[in-house]
Chain A
């Protein structure tokens, strides 16, 4: 077996040193009823690279890669071009096969990029500090609410009807089982909800997504003031992080915690994971922040270096009193994010954001010309909602048959609500060409 270096002779010599008659003897503590002296039967045996590759490629071939057809899918995961340099660098074994930087003297590479990542996230969101990443945007969202509960010593969260339904569901699940409450506003299709009216003296936070899941971009300054007037925090969720290259950052609008899905920068779609959660906040809330943090310091010779810090918040020190049970972050995805954003730089990110917006504007104008189709979202970044004259899920299925991934039917995220059945979420990125847009609009016009 190609991954196992020990030879039969090695094993014999090693058992002799140990003084055990066999490897089985080393398992003597296992109750006899559960002990096996040979492999589990009925399963295939080992296989060479060629054979494994054949099996995996056969499975892969039964999927339609988004990049192989005109694709307009978004709703929390976006297809962007990732420069070749990103994947090359993250596959360097020194990054790929290291672990959490427990020994900082030999982990400065990981620590320095985490410090750079934290800085990039703080700059993008307009916040003071950011952590070294979370599992993804949805878990970061739930952790942000729990942090707000700790900061305010309150236990009720108000969730916008524009929050991604998966994010809301993750947060509600945490609420149900970790003993706080979370109230959903109704789906905010037209972007007109008034959350300020829902804040009371028990509200720890208001969670609002910008752009919303229906695509609306908003100025949240007034909502931030309304939160602060009642002692609540404003949590802003961003699922399309490229938007921060164009829009006023949440920090400037008064957000107290900003969480985001960072997948769009540096990371492939991967059918939903692994992704990378961004988490940023104000300096004053630092010690209530979950997750790992990298900080600057000096070494014994006075040279600048980095270490994991403020670990007294964490589970391995605090155990049952920790701010969170989180142990791993999303290190390699955070590295991909950092490298891609370093490649983009200020000019690249702002240019990319404008490009995305321009493509979406072009697409919206074109789709609006199809008979019976209206664009519901007035102000948007690269994703918007359209109302079709018929069931959106059926249209998506029919267009998939024609080789077009037309978007995400709202009913896929919020099933069983008849008035949402005709709504379709449509996203455009820099990967979409004029020809993609023409093909989509023509095919849609032929169906509705």
Chain B
């Protein structure tokens, strides 16, 4: 079809100034400013049409129906547009590289979502007769069997709702096992590189937390550990691979020492993605480990949850697992809903994060033993490739091969006037989610890069090129580029200090302010 180009001018824009990009609406093309849902609603509007009630009779006794709630009314097109616009202000794995160390931001396969939405999984009630949910119980059992095969452990507690919840599960099991043998111990040892949840969990159970220093090689200081181990130590909590992205090569010896002291060994499984299918934690001598299904097994992070944190347990801890438990019997599957025997109790209503179990099992079946082996291999290869490609312009925190994440310190930024945070913010303008920054605490200005197995070599090469460019730019004296970053994101740096000093945690109607002004 011929185009009528009459009156068509030059299609290339003229050179712009900052003022010329200012708009009447504050919008920037596809990036649209969006007010709160409460600022858009009108009384009387709704996006849900309901049938007439069967009766007008009520049975509320002395309780009065409530007065107005204050919720806004909107139609469906308004709600769809509102949340679509909000979504467009988010960085996500689907849109870009998200190398957030310790979080395993791998691809979330869409088959997993489809399977979790099958009515046979999504639309079953947790208290339906057990005879009507045999397939669901089998799914939980199948996933449990896979987790046991991949870890080599004796038992698994499926109910914890997240990694930190799983930590608590494992540590309670440890305390219960010690008390069952009449052994009251008061201390838990935690390396200083640990996730904050480890000491928080141990302290909540009444343990004094003692820190174990790291060696210059980023591993647990074996001599310091030996010195602290004694009859008052209940457990060691250790992440392996550790938060420096390194494998604790002495782990078998560490396990031996811990057990020789009568203590138990909790392993934080946050970094299981590095070794899944390649190393079975049972072969390392641990007693308990949580598995973040939302990391290793790709259930979506969802903006901060829901997660799932099943805990694998050794023979010694298995009897103490919490309710619920699925049991395979001759006449099908049974559900044990009330703590029996030495079980330490219940951590959560019902059976756990079923929706996450479906996704995780789908992921596992898709990969199989060979795919899981390849996935952890690629995750480690990708991290080492980044490390090898950046070590001359950035500063690796430790020597030698890393596992699935590459850790740098900020010594390459010394005297540039650029901090780790500034560097991270400049990455935002380049279209990358920054790595984890300032964690682990044992490394100055830490930058923890976890690429996962989901990135292609092309993607890694562009990232490496970007990081090299930024590192060189920082060292060339262009600090202002970093300290003023980001400039191109939906918002520029936000004032976190004033947010904390005078917290505004909810919307309130402006009439109150207007009345005060009048």
Is B348 close to A, CB under 8 A?
yes
Quick check: is B180 within 8 A (CB to CB) of the other chain?
Answer: no
Instruction: From the candidates B119, B348, B367, name the one contacting A46 in the complex (CB within 8 A).
Output: B367
Q: Are B53 and A354 in contact (CB under 8 A)?
A: yes
Name the one of B127, B337, B361, B506 contacting A119, with C-beta atoms under 8 angstroms. Answer: B506
Residues from chain A with Cβ under 8 Å of B59 in the complex: 357, 360-361, 364, 378-380
Q: Is B92 an interface residue (CB 8 A)?
A: yes
Cβ-based interface call for B215 (8 A)? no
Q: Smallest CB-CB separation from A340: which chain B residue?
A: B48
Taken together as a complex, chains A and B put the C-alpha atoms of A417 and B24 apart, in Å, by: 70
Q: Which of A47, A94, A316, A346 contacts B92 (CB 8 A)?
A: A94
Does A242 interact with chain B (Cβ within 8 Å)?
Answer: no
B360–chain A nearest beta-carbon distance, Å: 12
Chain A hits for B436, CB < 8 A: 102
Which residues of chain B are near A345, meaning CB under 8 Å? Answer: 41, 45-48, 71-74
A5 touches B457 (CB 8 A): yes
Give Cα distance in the complex from A379 to B62, angstroms. 8
Residues of A within 8 A of B205 (CB): 177-178
- Is B231 engaged at the interface, CB distance under 8 Å to the other chain? no
Contact A20 B500 (CB under 8 A): no
Say yes or no: A177 contacts B175, CB within 8 Å. Answer: yes
Instruction: Tell me the complex Cα distance, A174–B398, Å.
Output: 40
> Does A116 contact B38, Cβ atoms closer than 8 Å?
yes
Contact status B71-A341, CB under 8 Å: yes
Cβ-defined contact, A350 with B385, below 8 A: no
Instruction: Decide if A129 is an interface residue (CB 8 Å cutoff).
Output: yes
Residue of A nearest to B505 (CB): A129
| Known contacts A98-B93, A273-B348: A315-B196 contact under CB 8 Å | yes
Interchain CB contact (< 8 A) of B68 among A169, A177, A346, A381: A346
A18 contacts B385, CB within 8 Å? yes
What per-residue 1/0 map shows which CB atoms of B85-109 lie under 8 Å from chain A?
0111111111100101001010111
B133 touches A63 (CB 8 A): yes
- Closest partner residue, chain A, to B324 (CB atom): A272
Give the residue name and chain of the B residue nearest to A393 (CB): B129
Given known A-B contacts A269-B126, A299-B494, A400-B129, A328 and B163 have beta carbons under 8 A apart: yes
Q: Is the CB of B58 within 8 A of A101?
A: no
**Nearest CB in chain A: distance from B506 CB, A:** 4
Contact B457 A45 (CB under 8 A): no
The answer to whether B199 has its CB under 8 Å from any CB of chain A is yes
User: Nearest A residue to B132 by beta-carbon distance?
Assistant: A64
Given A91-B113, A270-B355, A343-B48, residue A361 in contact with residue B365 (CB < 8 A): no
Contact A273 B36 (CB under 8 A): no
**Least Cβ distance of A48 to chain B in Å?**
8
Please indicate the chain B residues that have their CB under 8 angstroms from the CB of A303 in the complex. Answer: 26, 491-492
Docked pose: A402 CA to B215 CA in angstroms? 67
A106 to B9, CA, bound (A): 36
Chain B proximity of A221: nearest CB distance (Å): 10
Q: Which of A20, A31, A39, A325 contacts B401 (CB 8 A)?
A: A20
Q: Are A34 and B279 in contact (CB under 8 A)?
A: yes
Q: Is the CB of A293 within 8 A of B505?
A: yes
B370 contacts partner chain A, Cβ-Cβ < 8 Å? yes
In Å, the complex CA distance between A272 and B139 comes to: 14
Q: A129 — which chain B residues lie within 8 A by C-beta?
A: 505-506
If A67-B119, A303-B491 touch, whether A177 touches B135 (CB-CB below 8 Å) is: no
Query: B489 in the interface, Cβ–Cβ < 8 Å?
Result: yes
Q: Given A30-B247, A60-B118, A272-B352 in contact, is the A344-B370 Cβ separation under 8 Å?
A: no
Q: Are A62 and B138 in contact (CB under 8 A)?
A: yes
Residues from chain B with Cβ under 8 Å of A199 in the complex: none
CB of A193 within 8 A of chain B?
A: no
Q: Is the CB of A330 within 8 A of B119?
A: no
In the complex, chain A residues whose CB is within 8 Å of the CB of B90 = 94-95, 98, 106-110
Interface readout for A268-280 with B: 1 if CB under 8 Å, 0 if not?
1111111010000
Partner of B196, one of A19, A217, A271, A319: A319
B420 proximal to A (CB < 8 A): no
CB pair A412 B337 closer than 8 Å:
yes
Question: How far, in whole Å, are A87 and B355 apart by their CA atoms in the complex?
Answer: 14
- The answer to whether A38 and B108 have CB atoms under 8 Å apart is no
Note all chain B residues with C-beta closer than 8 A to A351. Answer: 46, 48, 50
Complex: A34 Cα to B282 Cα, angstroms: 9
- Asked if A162 is at the interface (CB within 8 A of a chain B CB), the reply is no
Which listed residue (A26, A301, A339) contacts B492, Cβ 8 A?
Answer: A301
- Give chain A nearest CB distance to B67 CB in angstroms: 8
CB-CB under 8 A from B89, the residues of chain A are 106-109, 112
Q: Which residue of A lies closest to B384 (CB)?
A: A18
Instruction: Determine whether the beta carbon of A57 is less than 8 Å from that of B302.
Output: no
Asked if B454 lies at the interface with its beta carbon under 8 angstroms from chain A, I say yes
Are A106 and B125 neighbours in the complex by a CB distance under 8 Å?
A: no
Q: Find out whether the CB atom of A355 lies under 8 angstroms from the CB atom of B53.
A: yes
Pick the contact of A328: B195, B304, B355, B433 (CB < 8 A). B304
Bound-state CA distance A330–B353 (Å) is 11
What's the minimum C-beta distance from B115 to chain A, rounded to whole angstroms?
5
Cβ A358 vs Cβ B55 within 8 A: yes
Interface residues of A in 291-334 (CB under 8 A from B): 292-301, 303, 305-307, 309-312, 314-322, 324-333
Report how far A71 CA is from B123 CA in the complex, Å: 11
Q: Bound state CA distance, A315 and B163, in angstroms? A: 13
Roughly how many angstroms separate A320 CA and B93 CA in the complex, as a whole number? 32
- Taken together as a complex, chains A and B put the C-alpha atoms of A114 and B304 apart, in Å, by 10
Is A320's CB under 8 angstroms from B202's CB? yes
- Complex alpha-carbon distance, A46 and B55, angstroms: 56
Compute how far the CA of A328 lies from the CA of B88 in the bound complex, rounded to whole angstroms.
22
**Known contacts A25-B401, A99-B98, A328-B162; A310 and B74 CB within 8 A of each other:** no
Judged by a CB distance under 8 angstroms, whether B368 is at the interface is yes
| A196 contacts B by Cβ under 8 Å | no
B471 located at the interface, meaning its Cβ lies under 8 Å from any Cβ of chain A in the complex: no
Contact present for B72 and A60 (CB under 8 Å)? no
> B300-327: contact bitstring with A at CB < 8 Å (1 yes, 0 no)?
1111111110000000000000110000
Cα A338 to Cα B302 in complex, Å, equals: 14
Mark out the residues of chain B between 346 and 383 whose CB falls within 8 Å of any chain A CB in the assembled complex: 346-356, 358, 361-362, 365-375, 377-378, 380-382
Asked, given contacts A27-B380, A98-B92, A325-B197, whether A56 binds B133 with beta carbons under 8 Å apart, the answer is no
Residues of B within 8 A of A339 (CB): 79, 83
CB distance from B71 to the nearest CB of A (A): 4
Name the one of B48, B150, B382, B493 contacting A299, with C-beta atoms under 8 angstroms. Answer: B493
Please tell me if B124 contacts chain A, counting CB pairs below 8 Å. Answer: yes
Cα-based distance from A400 to B131 in the complex (angstroms): 9
**Which among B164-172, B258-266, B473-481 touches the partner chain?**
B164-172
B51 close to chain A: CB less than 8 A: yes
Least CB distance, A440 to chain B, in whole angstroms: 14
Q: Is the CB of A324 within 8 A of B94?
A: no
Task: Report yes or no: A408 in contact with B353, Cβ–Cβ below 8 A.
Answer: no
Please give the distance in Å from B500's CB to the nearest CB on chain A: 5
Q: Are A118 and B204 in contact (CB under 8 A)?
A: no
Answer whether residue B503 sits at the interface, using C-beta atoms and an 8 A cutoff. Answer: yes
Contact between chains at A109 and B495 (CB < 8 Å): no
- Whether A197 is near chain B, meaning CB under 8 Å from some CB there, is no
Residue in contact with A342 in the complex, picked from B74, B108, B164, B361, CB distance below 8 Å: B74
B117 at the interface (CB under 8 A from A): yes
- Does any Cβ of A come within 8 Å of B120's Cβ? yes
Query: Interface segment, A133-141, A200-208, A226-234?
Result: A133-141
Question: What are the 4 A-B residue pairs with the smallest beta carbon separation, nearest first?
Answer: A379-B61, A60-B120, A272-B350, A93-B94
**22 residue pairs from A and B, CB less than 8 Å apart:** A34-B284, A40-B150, A52-B111, A60-B135, A64-B128, A105-B492, A113-B303, A115-B505, A118-B505, A135-B348, A167-B349, A270-B355, A272-B352, A274-B355, A295-B499, A297-B498, A318-B196, A319-B209, A348-B48, A348-B50, A397-B131, A400-B131
- Please name 15 further chain A to chain B contacts, defined as beta carbons within 8 Å, in addition to the given A14-B382, A56-B139, sorted by A numbering: A5-B455, A11-B378, A53-B111, A56-B361, A68-B119, A96-B113, A103-B91, A106-B486, A109-B86, A170-B345, A306-B494, A315-B164, A331-B301, A361-B59, A408-B127
